[in-house]
Amino acid sequence: MNNKTKKIVFAALMAALVYVATTIIRIPSPTEGFIHPGDGIVFLSGILLGPLYGGIAAGIGSMFVDLLAGYTHYVLGTLLIKLFAAMACGALFKILSTTCKNIVLRISISSLVGAVIIVLGYFGYASLYLGKGIAAAASIPGNIAQTIFGVVTVSILYPVLMKTNLLQILSE
């Protein structure tokens, strides 16, 4: 199997994993939502697959959560926000790989940048596109909690995956 086919197959797998991680494991949040490991898989997609394939996987998997849950007004925003978050995370992780040997630090920095994109992205989307104005700021604390949970999730998952041959398979 050539590398492009492998990336497409793993991107489809990661999109499905983002969907499952977002919809199956839900911890109710006091800020009108729930906390789930889905954002951790969004960040992991960017890190494992790189910016392009990781971004596409994260955007599509997250978009289907909103689409199938009836939040159709968020579908476009979620697709773009999660796509850009995973792309930034993957690109920064790759850049930091040349200068920083501490894997947890690389994961934390790159996924925190992805988290900022998600928090600001949803605020901007709700404020401007959905017409909520400054009232959209009410979702910021919940989105911060959600993305921090994602940062912790990827910080735990990636080192565990390093001990498997998955990373070797992806890089072949």
144-165 confidence digits (pLDDT tens): 999 999 999 999 999 888 888 7
Please tell me the predicted confidence (pLDDT) of residue 72. 93
What is the spatial distance between Cα 97 and Cα 141, in angstroms, rounded to a whole number?
Answer: 31
**H or E, element range at 53:** helix 38-69
Counting residues of the chain whose pLDDT is more than 90, the rounded percentage is 69
CA dihedral 50, 55, 58, 59 (to 10 degrees): -170
The more confident residue out of 59 and 143 is 59
pLDDT tens-digit profile of 79-99? 999 999 999 999 999 999 999
Q: Is the pLDDT of residue 136 over 90?
A: no
What is the spatial distance between Cα 127 and Cα 20, in angstroms, rounded to a whole number?
Answer: 28
Please tell me the predicted confidence (pLDDT) of residue 6. 87
Mean pLDDT of 23-45: 86
> pLDDT band at residue 167, thresholds of 50, 70 and 90?
low
